[in-house]
Amino acid sequence: MVEISEVKAASATTTAATAGSAITRESRTAAHTHIKGLGLDEYGIAKKVDGGFVGQTEAREACGVVVDLIKSKKMSGKAILLAGGPGTGKTALALAISQELGPKVPFCPIVGSELYSAEVKKTEALMENFRRAIGLRIKETKEVYEGEVIEITPEEAENPLGGYGKTINHVIVGLKTSKGTKSLKLDPSIYESIQKERVAVGDVVYVEANTGSVKRVGRSDAYATEFDLEAEEYVPLPKGDVHKKKEIVQDVTLHDLDLANAKPQGGQDILSMMGQLLKPRKTEITEKLRTEVNKVVSKYIDQGVAELVPGVLFIDEVNMLDIECFTFLNRALESTIAPIVILASNRGMTTVRGTDDVKSPHGLPADLIDRLLIVKTLPYDHEEIKTIVMKRSKTEGLILSSGALDKLASIAMGTSLRYVLQLLSPAGVLAKIGARSEISVGDIEECQLLFLDARRSTKVLEDTKGYL
């Protein structure tokens, strides 16, 4: 039997700042941490430089339409392909879509090569990620006892197993609200939860009537004084009765439900625990179990207890998938419960992996391409590259002369943006050695001689009859 109420897993969504977040300084800790949103105005028109983006206005506006469709729940089971050269912002666009959707919508990013695992089949790994990208918002009305603790009295009894020690028979907990007080006689297992939560007299807690779980909310504000230096969170005395009904919203993914129901609930004896340790770390979840989970999910949705939240599955370097994965992807997209799928590829006409001679655009079979909305990302022009290089130099704390900035933009037009950004740090080192506060054209030219781009390094191998 599948029990949704047993699941206590948190939503697997990625928590991120929204597009309107205030940024006081240029900062980034990884490749795409500066992306804060799509950078669109209230009419869906892309601003030239905003949200961490520079240029790519058409692609950002297209993604803005996709975000609106997802929010209005008209994109479930459909797929988008971000097609463009390396370094044109495909991954950044997918992350920006997740930022715009907010923290409660599941976003599951993977790379095509991730699916090739020795532990499980490729199709199983793909299905797992599909289920991670589908959220379920469960609304439960629970009976709780809430109030300020005025008494905790454990009542002991003689140990039934003999010996000198005593055992806790039950615990008396007194709770007070603005409306009155109530004394509860609770099970000894709840006393353990009270000790784990470090509950003391004067704390505000709530106890779930069905499960017996105890949650410490904070310290009652009646104990707060102006001279109190403790780092304590003070909360007001709860209103209403001690015993009340409370609506609790819980966000989980379908993969959380699959895992919760796939693991056998063994006993606490040593043999059971040893058995769980000796099992393989990762096991396949059967199709039968997923069908049962889907049935229960559908029943809860029909009853209005839960709401399905289709998230985003982002597959980068989708050309790395093979024909088996593409066939599976076609079927998964037609499922009644499916997320929004965003694919990204930087290939043109190329052979579909797993076939001998089938060539297709972006390395995808023709029947899958027909299902896709294709968003193109274009190479950056000279001015856009200058803006990107200037922003990156500020992030790294480097000062560029105007000549050096023009030189880098010109190099990028003939090589790639990524190559130019890689030259920034070494050029900064050369300027420091030369006791200069800003990077000059000479520093850039010297770096260009020291560090080759892909075209020149290939030519070196050709000239020296090296390996191609």
* Mean residue pLDDT across the chain: 79
Task: Please state, in angstroms and rounded to a whole number, the distance separating the CA atoms of residues 104 and 75.
Answer: 17
What is the rounded average pLDDT of the residues 40-46? 85
Please give the class, per CATH, of domain 139-250: mainly beta
CB atoms within 10 A of CB 358: 13
Looking up tokens 């043109």 gives 348
Q: Alpha helices of 303-416 — where are they, by DSSP H?
A: 323-333, 366-369, 382-395, 402-414
What is the rounded average pLDDT of the residues 62-66? 90
Task: Please state, in angstroms and rounded to a whole number, the distance separating the CA atoms of residues 178 and 309.
Answer: 38
Q: How many Å separate Cα 99 from the centre of its chain?
A: 10
Task: Please state, in angstroms and rounded to a whole number, the distance separating the CA atoms of residues 33 and 342.
Answer: 20
Whole-angstrom Cα Rg for the chain: 29
Model confidence over 217-236: pLDDT tens digits? Answer: 888 887 776 555 555 678 88
Query: pTM of the entire structure?
Result: 0.66
- Tell me the pLDDT band of 22, cut-offs 50, 70 and 90: very low
The full set of domain ranges for the chain reads 4-133+311-377, 139-250, 382-463
Model confidence over 417-453: pLDDT tens digits? Answer: 889 888 988 999 999 999 988 899 999 999 989 998 8
Domain 4-133+311-377 in CATH 3.40.50.880? The answer is no
| 443 contacts: CB under 8 Å, gap ≥ 6 | 404, 427, 430, 431, 434, 436
Return the higher-pLDDT residue of 318 and 139.
Answer: 318
Q: Is 337 helix (H, G, I), strand (E, B) or coil?
A: coil
Q: Specify the CATH architecture of the domain 382-463.
A: Orthogonal Bundle (1.10)
53 strand-pairing partners = 50
And the tokens for 125?
A: 């790994």
With 60 as the cut, is the pLDDT of residue 260 above it?
Answer: yes
The upper half-sphere exposure of residue 130, i.e. CA atoms within 13 Å in the direction of its Cβ, equals 23
Q: Is 341 helix (H, G, I), strand (E, B) or coil?
A: strand
176 strand-pairing partners = 148, 181
Model confidence over 294-343: pLDDT tens digits? Answer: 888 888 888 888 888 888 889 988 988 989 889 888 888 887 778 888 99
Window from 87-91, 183-187, 283-287 with minimum mean pLDDT: 283-287
Backbone φ, ψ for residue 244 (5° rounding) = -150, 170
